[in-house]
Amino acid sequence: MNKGLGNKHTIHNEHLHLSWDNATPPAITVAPGDVVEFDEIDALMGQITPQSGVDDVINMDFARVNPVAGPVYVDGAEPGDALKVTLLDFAPSGWAWTAIVPGFGLLADDFPEASINIWNVDKAFEEPTAFGDFARIPLKPFCGTTGVANAKPGAHSTIPPYETGGNMDIRDLTLGVDLYLPVQVEGALFSIGDPHCAQGDGEVCGTAIESPMGVTARLDLVKGENLKFPRFETSGPVSRHLDGKGYEVTTGIGPDLMEASQNAVRGMIERLAKSKGLSADQAYMLCSVCADMRISEVVDQPNWVVSCYLPNIVFE
């Protein structure tokens, strides 16, 4: 494994694709340890702009959602290896969006109407971003979609995640974190997309603080790792930007984890309406961008507990 910084490469935004397919020709070939700078990636390919309203959400073309940049062929990568991915930098655009998309999200049946919030974002990610006049969300940039090609032939949608990564939406895969992806094909064929400025664990309304951004990553190789699924390592705390003022927590309890998750979020939406005067749409989007869903108990059958943690610091 090359621990130093290798050569630097650039992938321009014409090298976008909308499916994982091991037959897609690589955009570039790199050596283990090389750094790749990906030009601005937009999760909706320009369908939402800083001037957008609900009509743009309603008319969204799902055939142009969640493109990934690449693929990158890594010399020497072969099935059974792990590709180590470390994010080094972001090139922010300064704006972002969050939306309730009809038919999408954990509570799709509860929220049939479209809604959207456009955010102004500090390009240094140091200042929280304002949600109306009632909340300020601390920023923690990451890419929602990071993965390698699957060994199964054919085109596979970039919307769901797979055992090779993809649209995992893990908010802790931020700068400096080491992500290890199971290589299934020669060259790994790495791609990345879906940049976020912040997200709660669960991304419950289906969108985070979504923002067009460039991203720089170092790609390294671990031979013979034989991972079945991705894993990652952090070098420090993962929620310090939210922990300072404690949490408001609601729960859902029952024999179905999905229904328990829905009920935990419904409880938080009701709580925010009572305590903060938020509309249901506002509360749902707020949960998506900063509340963390946790499986609190899965052993006391037949009922399991899911908790929704909303940080009080966003109201400071």
pLDDT digits (tens, 9 = 90+) for 122-158: 999 999 999 999 999 999 999 999 999 999 999 999 9
Structural domains of the chain in order of their starting residue, each with its CATH number: 8-233 (2.60.120.580), 240-315 (3.10.28.20)
Q: Quick check: 83 pLDDT over 60?
A: yes
Q: Where are the beta strands (DSSP E) in 62-174?
A: 68-74, 82-92, 95-100, 115-120, 129-131, 135-137, 142-148, 156-157, 161-162, 165-167
Residue 137's beta-bridge partner residues? Answer: 129
Tens digit of each residue's pLDDT (9 = 90 or more) over 173-218: 999 999 999 999 999 999 999 999 999 999 999 999 999 999 999 9
pLDDT at 14: 86
Q: Contact 142/87 with Cβ under 8 angstroms?
A: yes
Please compute the mean of the pLDDT values over residues 55-77 and round it to a whole number: 97
The two structure tokens encoding residue 294: 């946790």
Distance CA 71, CA 146 (A): 11
Separation in Å, CA 281 to CA 43, 272, 312:
22, 11, 19
Are 33 and 2 a contacting pair, CB within 8 Å? yes
Residue 17 near residue 71, CB atoms below 8 Å: yes
CA–CA distance, 28 with 11 (Å, rounded to integer) = 8
The whole-angstrom separation of Cα 26 and Cα 188 is 10
